[in-house]
Amino acid sequence: MATNFDLAPPLAALAGGGTAVPMDISTIDAHFTFDAAAQAAHGIASLAFVVGPMAGRPVFDLRQTVTEVVLDGLALPLTAVPFVDLGGGPGAEVRVLDAVLASGTDHTLAVGYDVGPPASPPGGGYPPHLVWSGPAGVRRLSWNTGFTDLAPARYLESWVPANLIWDQYTVTWEVTITGTTVAHTLITNGALTTLGPNHWSIAFPDRSTALSTLIEVRPADEILSRTTTIALPAAGRTITVEAWTTTSSGIDLAAALADLSAWLVEDDSQIGPYLHGDRFVTFLLQGGMEYDGACTATPGTLRHEAFHSWWGRGVKPAGQPDGWIDEAWDTYHDNGAATIDPFDFAEPAQMLCTREPYSRVTPGASYSGGARVFAGIAAISSPPALTALMSEFYRAHVHRPITTLTLEEHLAARIGAAAPEVVDGFHHFIYGFADPSPSPDLWLRDDPGHTGSELWAGRFWDSPDLWIRHADDGGTVHQAPVAGQDNWFHARIRNQGAGAARHFMVVFNVRQYSGVEFVWPSDYLPAIAAAGGFDLGPGQEVVVRARWPAALVPPAGTHACWLASVLSRADWPTAGAHVWEHGNLAQKNLTIHRARPGQTITVPFGYLAGRSRRFEVRAPEQVRHWPFSLRPKGPGPKWRSPVMEEVTRPARPGRAMPLAHGLPVPAPGPQAPGSTVAVFAITVPPDAVPGTSGVIDLVARDGRGAIVGGIAVELTVDPDAPT
């Protein structure tokens, strides 16, 4: 099972010395025995886990009275699992195992405890309960897990030692009731096996987190149920839908089941495939809480809670600071998913996503205030466009929990020209930051000599602050992208302003042609990916990176250009700006080739039609004598254009070459709208020495002689290079 340590809260220094570190749990095996005669219960649970990338004392939580602690077969004192506040505040403390464990090591922790109402803060519409009733011998148990995100420490840790919600693991739970002849029923969204009278085993899959597991135990004669089956079109399968309630509730199960079935089909069709196996389970009584493929609800809250099996328990929050997302989007959906409400930055800042990683409560404002955020995003796009973007996000992020930044990166990359307004909206209405004063000034270098000015006439087409790597390996040397696999965009962002950038976003795009005059925002947005960051102070710099999905990496031989822009609150590039005119923009128009002696490398490139342009070649001494040529790119050898014929003669380093601009060329493959495509050719001499290498620039000038673009080719002589 993969670990999610990148989603875990950061290391925390302990007041008495040492470091609290995350553990990644792979399995939880819990056993509960309810003794009706004694009206008492006892639990024992075993965790298999691995320690994070640094040694320290692992973090977990349990809100029951501990009676036994065993680590790797060795008994520890009960004081070995104290509660510690790591920043979440009262009620959000965690347990820190008082044993320093080496990074990357595997362990087993067994905890025994008396089971009672959890020592967690109260809250929520359907609180946990453990109630005995009736005389000895025929005693009755009523027990539910009663999760909520409106109070801290009210997920699985209420009953079983578990992790915070960033972690995923399998859970098996055996429940036994002794000392009574009353038959009980266990209701769950897990895979249920009846082992005997009042004896069950429940298994939950490895995508489970601390907020996934529904369990409700009631005397069998006190509950009613109805079931039906429905076909889910996106999931491509039929599931069983179960509805339960108490005999005294008065709830019409048939009507609720009919409504629920229709909603599940609608959600599956509009959002994406249902993820939770072949069942959906609801217990209808009071309040409302979502679980994986399940919920507790009233008939009035059932629509909202069912939607959570896509948003909240399909795509899951990685931490409580991210819990606003599903409540906000569900509420926007409850209101019809058609509301628009433009952002008003004169309103006070609103914080829905705290920067405190150990926060364990979803803010109450997430519902109405969060829905207004989505209405604001809908106002700068459209409600249908926003719904489509959210469905796209769902389909791409169902496998592991997501953060607020992940959602913002998706929206900023894919929404198009409105990306800066999305970043501003998150800055003010999600992260709760006021407008910066004094202002930051974020920028990327256009070349190694760039010192931060907006206008820069240097070699701006090969930014040293942009590079690509084949893996997320921390490397800083640019690599030519490899088709058929993920690659990684990188950008180094600098702040030369007097104030800190509380939040910023970098968008990355690829144009599958070399070009010399890219324009903001049309060439940059919508983007392929984005990467955000926080708290970049004056004079500081930071590297951000984003995955370039394999499906979007162009085929080998494509001559592409990589573009990036950094956005922060009210700091956007000017519409129509080029790289050399704005510090927020950068490009890397560098093609890397290995060529055999005698081989000719051709690099198609685009430039804006209807503009007067002249080109010159710049080459280092070791390759200046190589033959270079410039020609229009046409559909075949029979095509001729008298106005472009003049440019087929050889180019020479430092010599301006005219390139006519009157006719757009109908060249195959991707190209910029309204552009003309030409070909820059470099021939390696037959006697070229193997290992000879250099970067050759083709520079474009306008009619006044000003540099308006360029492309770069890094070429190395290699007798073994493919032809």
Q: How many domains does the chain have?
A: 5
Give SS3 for 392.
Answer: helix
Residues 684 and 598 in one domain: yes
- Per residue in 369-411, pLDDT (tens digit) is 999 999 999 999 999 999 999 999 999 999 999 999 999 999 9
Within-domain flag for 84: yes
Q: Would you say residue 638 has pLDDT above 80?
A: no
Residues 86 and 176 in one domain: yes
Please compute the mean of the pLDDT values over residues 533-559 and round it to a whole number.
Answer: 93
What tokens does 158 get? 């209420």
Within-domain flag for 490: yes
Is-contact 278 237, C-beta < 8 A?
yes
Residues 284 and 355 in one domain: no
Surface-to-core class of residue 635, CB atoms within 10 Å of its CB (0-12 exposed, 13-18 middle, 19+ buried) = exposed
Q: Would you say residue 659 has pLDDT above 70?
A: no
CATH of the domain at 237: 3.30.2010.30
What tokens does 438 get? 């004094």
Q: Would you say residue 475 has pLDDT above 90?
A: yes
Last residue of a domain, one of 429, 451, 474: 429
Within-domain flag for 314: no
pTM of the model: 0.92
Residues 87 and 124 in one domain: yes
What tokens does 182 get? 């009353």
Residue where the block lists tokens 């070009």: 515
Residues 566 and 514 in one domain: yes
Residue where the block lists tokens 């972690």: 167
Within-domain flag for 704: yes
- What pLDDT shows up at residue 609? 56
Residue 384's domain spans which residues?
A: 320-429
Last residue of a domain, one of 559, 588, 617: 588
150: which DSSP letter?
S
Give SS3 for 620.
Answer: coil
Residues 574 and 490 in one domain: yes
What tokens does 570 get? 């009210």
Residues 60 and 145 in one domain: yes
Residues 415 and 274 in one domain: no
Please compute the mean of the pLDDT values over residues 331-342 and round it to a whole number.
Answer: 97
Planar angle of CA 434, 440, 446, nearest 5 degrees: 145
Residues 183 and 114 in one domain: yes
- Per residue in 405-437, pLDDT (tens digit) is 999 999 999 999 999 999 999 999 999 999 999
Q: Which residues contact 474 (CB under 8 A, 6 or more apart)?
A: none
Residues 557 and 630 in one domain: no
DSSP 448-471: TT--S-S---SSTTB-TTEEEESS
Within-domain flag for 219: no
Q: Would you say residue 582 has pLDDT above 90?
A: yes
* CB environment 609-625: b (16+ within 10 A), e (fewer): beeebebbbebeeebee
- Per residue in 278-325, pLDDT (tens digit) is 999 999 999 899 999 999 999 999 999 999 999 999 999 999 999 999
Angle of the 404-414 helix axis to the 324-334 helix axis, nearest 10: 60
Residue where the block lists tokens 């009736």: 134
Within-domain flag for 722: no
Is-contact 710 589, C-beta < 8 A?
yes
* Alpha-carbon span 633 to 670, nearest angstrom: 13
- Per residue in 127-153, pLDDT (tens digit) is 898 999 999 999 999 999 999 999 999
The separation between the first and the last C-alpha atoms of the chain, rounded to the nearest angstrom, is 43
Instruction: Give the H or E element holding residue 426.
Output: helix 419-429
Q: How many residues does the chain have?
A: 723
Query: How many other CB atoms are found less than 10 A from the CB of residue 161?
Result: 26
- What pLDDT shows up at residue 649? 38
Within-domain flag for 723: no
CATH of the domain at 628: 2.60.40.10
DSSP bridge pairs for 7: none
- What pLDDT shows up at residue 608? 61
Residue where the block lists tokens 């790289």: 579
Within-domain flag for 553: yes
Which of 526-535, 653-662, 696-705 is the most confident on average?
526-535
Q: Which residues contact 710 (CB under 8 A, 6 or more apart)?
A: 459, 460, 461, 462, 516, 589, 697, 698, 699, 700
Planar angle of CA 603, 582, 519, nearest 5 degrees: 45
* Alpha-carbon span 123 to 15, nearest angstrom: 30
Instruction: Give the H or E element holding residue 229.
Output: strand 223-232
Sheet holding 693-702, edge to edge: 590-595, 707-717, 693-702, 613-618, 657-659
- What pLDDT shows up at residue 610? 54
Q: Would you say residue 652 has pLDDT above 90?
A: no
* Alpha-carbon span 716 to 416, nearest angstrom: 38
* Alpha-carbon span 57 to 19, nearest angstrom: 6
- What pLDDT shows up at residue 604? 84
What's the Rg (C-alpha) of the chain? 31
Give me the sign of the Cα torsion angle 423, 425, 428, 431: negative
Residue where the block lists tokens 């920067």: 355
Is-contact 248 217, C-beta < 8 A?
no
Give SS3 for 223.
Answer: strand
DSSP 167-221: --EEEEEEEEEESB---EEEEESSEEEEEETTEEEEEEEEEE-TT---EEEEEGG
pLDDT grade, residue 612 (50/70/90)?
Answer: low
Q: Would you say residue 531 has pLDDT above 50?
A: yes
Residues 275 and 334 in one domain: no
- What pLDDT shows up at residue 199? 98
Closest CA relative to residue 499, chosen from 446, 535, 458, 447: 535
Last residue of a domain, one of 551, 567, 588: 588
Query: Could you tell me if residue 60 is left (phi over 0), alpha (psi between -120 and 50 degrees) or otherwise beta?
Result: beta
Give me the sign of the Cα torsion angle 667, 671, 677, 682: negative
Helices (H) then strands (E): counts for the chain: 7, 39
Residues 293 and 348 in one domain: no
